[in-house]
A and B are shown apart, each in its own frame.
Chain A
Amino acid sequence: MRRFALQVFCVAISLFMAAPIYLITLAAFSSRESLNEFPLPLVPTDPSTETLSGFLSSTGVIAGGVNSLMVGLNTVVLALLIGLPAGYAVARYAFRGRQPYQLFLLLTRALPIVVLSVPLARIFLTTGLYDTTYAVTLLHTALALPTTVLITAAVFVAVSPEQEEAAQIFGASPVQAFVRIVMPQALPGIAAAAVFTFVMSWNEVLGAAILTLNQRTLPAQVLSTLSFSPLAYRFAGGFALVVPALLFIAIMRKYLLNMWGTTLK
């Protein structure tokens, strides 16, 4: 009985999450005319790639996609590069002001992006970084760091320090102990942080729109042309924004799951 309730619950959640994605996909693969029909059919009646190809061929979309991808991946790498050691320090060392530091990390997210972006734009203008993907990467890294630090700190805490000590007793250097013992166990958490960062970066639009003019990321590009584009373009844009994020999650999925023990063979 409880099992059944649980299944119903899971199905409901999945439907809730999947329905908009399905509708967008449906619209993205419909022809321009069929979008104007009423009521809209809920199954694909006249699949066509016309809408999507129209969207893809409009100016700045491909370039925006490439920019978005670059910014997303670079942000993931940069955020992990800085965030992992910070997370490790928070997890392992009792330093003065650790608690306030953790709280402070979260508070930075309370600052609206717009408030951040305007002074950043000024700084980037003077340093010549304005209107580059690096500028957006830096902003997104700053936005992603708090969660990266907190998520990785949580996974590092779960690996007992004695395991690292044992590795060192049996001949590993501190770095080897980290790479061989801590990293493999922390991978699911690190993957989670990476997914989080990538999706955040892929979707972030305000800062990206303020910090760039020509080197637009995809959402910034879509946003700037949204108001004067046809309905079909919007659906196709929505689809193009959702799919890569989903793909990225799917790739990271196997790291997200517990890789040893009972959950996976």
Chain B
Amino acid sequence: MSRIVLRNLVKSYPGGDRRATDEISLEVADGEFVVLVGPSGCGKTTLLRMVAGLETPDSGSVHIGDTDVTSLSARDRRVSMVFQSYAIFPHMKVRQNIGFGLMMRKVPRPEIDRRVADAAAMLDLSDYLDRFPSQLSGGQRQRVAVARAIVVDAGVLLMDEPLSNLDALLRLQFRAELKRIVHQIGTTTLYVTHDQAEAMSLGDRVAVMRDGRVAQIGGPLEVYDSPADRFVGSFLGAPPMNFFPALVSDGPALSVGALSIPAPSSLARFAGRTVLVGVRAEKLAVSTDAADGFLPATVEVVEPTGASVLLTVRLGDHELKVQAPPTFDTRPEASVWLRADPSTMRFYDPETSLALTV
């Protein structure tokens, strides 16, 4: 019913020297949860505002359901939205804020009360219903904005960084809560964040944006495991994906400096060329002893994180992040040996940074 189809959306702001969104096409299936993630200024909010009807695209179209809503005003699109700046109404109590959408849609009073109470309970706001926003903390205000958005039954839910102002613990808690709520109401959702962990955990699909374009869209594991380009690999995941250049030699094998490591056989057709190898920190096996097919590296930083030890090591001229088991015993300046399973390695064109199909 309420799928979203965006076609070639272009938007540039007056005075902006480049496009805020550049020919973005995107489809969100009915009931699907798609997360837009990307660095600051990449056009996430702009895209969301065009779907909401708050911004008119220079060209391209927005469809919600089977209707072309490109020229429809915001109130006629039946969308709901959490603003990045909350945009809750300071002169109304929390109760009126949450119930605003229902009141405007002329929902009967008892039903408004019931639904407001439900939404407030979901977001831990029941004790604050009779307060003014100025008497709430930043995180509480943000939750009011979320409650106001989920309480109406809109076909499409747009959320612009709705958890950004919560502390780490609350954010984790509400992330799960939000996932449950949205799943429950089953609304088609576009969700913006610049927190890659949030993106991975919430999205049915994740769209990674950069400079007004969608760099890659796919399931969370797909974009995490097989980034379409170097940017996606370094943006998603903490720590970011490791990249280092290697020469493909006959065999096929990869020459890193003077050393050689096995490569997937499909790489044979790139023989003689230099490729960029991408490998995730947790996919690098690390050992204190030399062994065949292992590359020697020097430990630079050791960061225990509890569940694992994060090592920064130097391999030739390149710094790599390695996730070692928590019991792994090493110290700076020590030598370690690394090995990557050929199947976990991804390969990129050093010039274009795009993934090579191997």
Contacts and interface: CB of A to CB of B under 8 A. Distances in A.
A262 B73 contact: no
Contact of A260 (B54, B73, B132, B148): B132
Interface stretch (A63-71, A166-174, A210-218): A166-174
Given A261-B132, A262-B134, A169 B74 contact: yes
A173 B85 contact: no
B74 A168 contact: yes
Interface in A153-195: 160, 162-163, 165-173, 176, 181, 184-185
A259 interface: yes
A141 B205 CA distance: 60
Given A166-B81, A167-B100, A262-B135, A173 B75 contact: yes
Given A169-B54, A172-B104, A162 B83 contact: yes
B87 A260 contact: no
B188 interface: no
Given A168-B75, A171-B101, A163 B87 contact: yes
Interface string B72-107: 011100011101010111110000000011001100
A84 B100 CA distance: 25
A44 B152 CA distance: 66
B89 A181 contact: yes
Contact of B91 (A166, A169, A260): A260
Interface residues of A, number: 21
Nearest to B93: A260
Given A166-B81, A170-B101, A261 B75 contact: no
B52 interface: yes
Nearest to B73: A168
Nearest to A166: B87
Contacts of A173: 75
Contacts of A181: 89, 91
B135 A261 contact: yes
A145 B123 CA distance: 47
A261 B74 CA distance: 30
Contact of B90 (A169, A170, A171, A260): A260
A176 B74 CA distance: 14
Interface string A254-265: 000001111000
B75 A172 contact: yes
A170 B100 contact: yes
Interface in B34-76: 52-54, 73-75
A97 to B, nearest CB: 15
Given A160-B85, A162-B85, 12 more contacts: A160-B87, A162-B87, A166-B87, A169-B52, A169-B54, A170-B75, A170-B100, A170-B152, A171-B104, A181-B91, A259-B91, A260-B132
Interface of B: 14, 52-54, 73-75, 79-81, 83, 85, 87-91, 100-101, 104-105, 132, 134-135, 148, 152
Q: Which 5 A-B pairs have the closest CB atoms?
A: A171-B104, A170-B101, A162-B87, A261-B134, A166-B87
